[in-house]
Amino acid sequence: MNWKRTVTLGAFIILTLCVVLSRFYLYVQNGHWEENSKAVETAYEKSILTKATKVESFYGDQPFKVVFGEDKIGQSVVVWVYGNEVHTEMAAEAFTEAQVRDTMLKKGADLQIQRVLPGKLGDDYVWEVFYKKQDDTGTRYFYDYYKFKDGTYMDTYRLSLQ
């Protein structure tokens, strides 16, 4: 009879812990999801976007939400949203993520791409590539920037070793 009480108490503790952790997760993520929803609403109102499929966050000189989706005839669109400011590009008229990844692989097979994301560098809309590369001093992290429209290389930022 004692083991039944122990099992019941253990199950109750695990269930309570799961509920508390899920509520905490929802509380923490709610602000992020709200920002994404606002960015999508702004993109719907101020661009040709009619269907959003994904929202990413870009943190550069200014924090942007990058909304991926389609226009009313099903063409792929990328929309940068900063507050109420909106910039739209047709994906078919731009360099693709796959092309950026191919360009990076030509730089060297020893680098490991961590993330490829549209962003903004100065006044240019860009593809930002975050990657790591092993060298004699250890693992180094880099950001490469390519113009969003044509994939022209712009700059590389090298992060210092820690």
Residue 131 has pLDDT above 90, yes or no: yes
pLDDT in tens, 81-124: 998 889 999 999 999 999 999 999 888 778 999 999 999 998 99
pTM of the model: 0.79
- pLDDT, position 1: 59
- pLDDT, position 162: 55
Is residue 2 very low, low, confident or very high in pLDDT (cuts 50, 70, 90)?
Answer: confident
- pLDDT, position 149: 94
Q: For the chain, list the domains and their CATH numbers.
A: 2-93 (3.10.450.40), 97-158 (3.10.450.40)
Distance, in Å, from the CA atom of 66 to the CA atom of 127, rounded to the nearest integer, reads 11
User: Which comes out higher in pLDDT, residue 68 or 29?
Assistant: 68
DSSP string across 18-52? HHHHHHHHHHHHHHHHHHHHHHHHHHHHHSS--EE
